Amino acid sequence: MKKKCLITGATAVLGTAFKNLINENKISSFYDNVDFVFIGSKDCNLINKDEVYELFKKHNFSYVMHLAAVSGGIGLASSNFQATLFYNNLMMLLNILEASREFKIEKTLLTLSTGMYSPSIEMPYKESSLHKGLAHEGLYGYYYAKRMMEPALRAYRDQYKMNIIGVVPNGIFGENDNFNLQGAPLVPALIRRFHEAKEKNSNIEVWGDGSALREWTYSKDMAKAFLWCFENYNSEKILNVGSTEENSVKDIAFMIAELIGFDKSNILFNTTRPKGVHKKSTDNSEFVNISSFEYTKFKESLKLTIDWFQDCKKSHPEKLRLYPKTQNEI
């Protein structure tokens, strides 16, 4: 009998990448004996302990990969949702851990975030520096909930002898990304806005001066990294698993303009608006050294994502995530 693996966050960009890799049979033979169960917010409210327990009881899972989160871009950071971000993410974590303990899950993977690293510490961020300094203020409710995952996984490993690992992705983008302008991260937001500006033959405004540096990882690469860790990694030490290729916001905007066919002279950088942290670079050397992992180049990944977006917009616009979720959707 095959073992069942729960994957939360099924409808988001990373969950979609998992589905695509599985459907394309581009995963390790380790997973030949695994049936994946993808759960989105409409299938189970992970904030509700009773619903989580019913889900675990129904499926008799052996493995859990917890990808689901409530987050957003700079626009959401400027809003007053910090308590909601903290509560929702922390409750999902605790419910997943308690259900994993109660139902004797063989292995659980937790998804952390580079935003939990303090902007005041030395870069590139190393896993050992997680608890040094304060997390970035922008989405502090989200970042501190993510930071809590590390002591939580150690506590459950120590007390209950559970096999729980924590992986730290950086910015993720790709097919089926969140293109809702009220909460979308930088890359999908810019892809949509450049596409619409081209259709309207209008200028486009980019927040900040474009100098901020970011690392972004293609969603399929991130899914492959997660799958490798789940199969091969068993330490309590968290792992940075994102690409360390760095691009400025200005370079990203210019690449998108080039790939979409938008006149770069119509890009306006608004220096009166927040640009976010100037630089967030991570050290993924520990992961790369043990896995020999290779990442897709950013511009190549960007083209794949833009092609998917434009094809969807033309042929299947209903598949695009363009609008805000309701309060209960995760």
Q: What is the pTM of this model?
A: 0.93
Q: Which two tokens stand for residue 198?
A: 């081209």
In the chain, the percentage of residues whose pLDDT exceeds 90 is: 82
Contact between 110 and 164 (Cβ < 8 Å): yes
CATH annotation of 3-174+216-244+280-295:
3.40.50.720
The domain locations on the chain are 3-174+216-244+280-295
Model confidence pLDDT, tens digit, residues 167-181? 999 999 999 998 988
The mean pLDDT value of the chain amounts to 92
| pLDDT score of 72 | 53
Tokens 């810019």 label which residue? Answer: 190
Predicted confidence band of residue 206 (pLDDT cuts 50, 70, 90): very high
H helices present in the chain, as ranges: 13-23, 49-59, 74-77, 82-102, 140-147, 149-160, 186-200, 219-232, 249-260, 285-291, 298-315
Q: Which residues pair with 215 in a beta bridge?
A: 246
47-96 per-position pLDDT tens digit: 999 999 999 999 999 999 999 998 754 445 445 789 999 999 999 999 99
pLDDT tens digit string along 249-292? 999 999 999 999 999 999 999 998 876 778 889 999 999 999 99
